[in-house]
Amino acid sequence: MIPKTIKPQLSRLRRSAKRGLSVWLLMLPLVLAVTLDSIAEFPPPPKQLSLTNEFFAMDTGVHGAGLKTPEDKVKLLKELGYAGIGWTPPGVAEMLTALDQQGLKMSSLYIGANIGENEQKYDPQLPKQIELLKGKGTIIWLHISSKSHQTSAPEGDERAVAIIREVAALAEASGLQVALYPHAGAWLERVQDALRVVKKVDRANVGLTFNLCHCLKVGDEKKIPELLKECRPHLFVVTINGADHEGGWNRLIQPLDQGSFDVAEFLRQLQAVNFNAPIGLQHYGVKGDARENLRRSKNAWQKFSSR
């Protein structure tokens, strides 16, 4: 039995509760609307990467004890699950034979061009090398240097455009693409330089490469999202590696499972611009056992895909 002295207090509590419930019911639509608007402001968590890009290893990291011949190199890459190799001449024919035997691909061929006065524009063997690659789907990687022009200087564009068009014509005859290769310290140093020149070349089979380590080296890390959007229509290939945010090459090129730079986030940014072309692994100057380094980087690639 409820004491008489408490009954008035209970009555007041019941009336307050009813009023509170009425107010809450009236406010409910507004609360829901605000909540939904707040949710809409935040994107859903990123989906699993599920990487499907062709993933190949650059020859810069496929060397050392027991990796002297093309057969040795290709056997290891096959064993670890890489799609192919990014190759630097000479020995193009020999490497192609070894790759064909293992069902792998020469994903890229790294060559140089010079735009300086009285400099050899490119290796005289290049036309023959490109002929060997007919129908192979290899990307011709073209890095461009000059002793006559400063780094990134637009004054070299005219000469560069003429040479690139020559190489593009050779590549087109073999059904291949040419991707300009920005390299820190070279005349064609930045992604921005490559994009400027690609637009002037104006050939369907000429695009560019986004090299993560070189982008970090020239201090463009904060520009990466915007650069990817700008160059996407011309982006043929990307190279990655583990890295810190700054420092020398020993910090800017590491196995994929090392370094403070968030490579997984970089790959998400690539997916955000719908990049589904080849991605190469850079291991230039990485110390230690090449087999172990390549194994670790391949494992890291697979882990990225499961995040």
Sign of the C-alpha dihedral computed for residues 282, 286, 291 and 294 taken in this order: negative
98: which 2 tokens? 């070894």
182 cis-preceded (ω within 30 degrees of 0): no
Predicted structure pTM score = 0.84
Q: Cα 122–128–129 angle (5° rounding)?
A: 75
Hey, which residues does 55 pair with through a beta bridge?
A: 279
Q: Give the span between the Cα atoms of 70 and 99, in whole angstroms.
A: 8
Q: What is the DSSP letter of 69?
A: S
CA distance from start to end of the chain: 62
Q: Are 178 and 168 in contact (CB under 8 A)?
A: yes
100: which 2 tokens? 């064909």
Sign of the C-alpha dihedral computed for residues 258, 262, 265 and 270 taken in this order: negative
Per-residue confidence in pLDDT tens, the chain, 307 aa: 555 555 555 466 466 555 554 544 445 444 444 444 444 443 443 456 788 999 999 999 999 999 999 999 999 999 999 999 999 999 999 999 999 999 999 999 999 999 998 899 999 999 999 999 999 999 999 999 999 999 999 999 999 999 999 999 999 999 999 999 999 999 999 999 999 999 999 999 999 999 999 999 999 999 999 999 999 999 999 999 999 999 999 999 999 999 999 999 999 999 999 999 999 999 999 999 999 999 999 999 999 987 7
Q: Give the span between the Cα atoms of 178 and 171, in whole angstroms.
A: 7
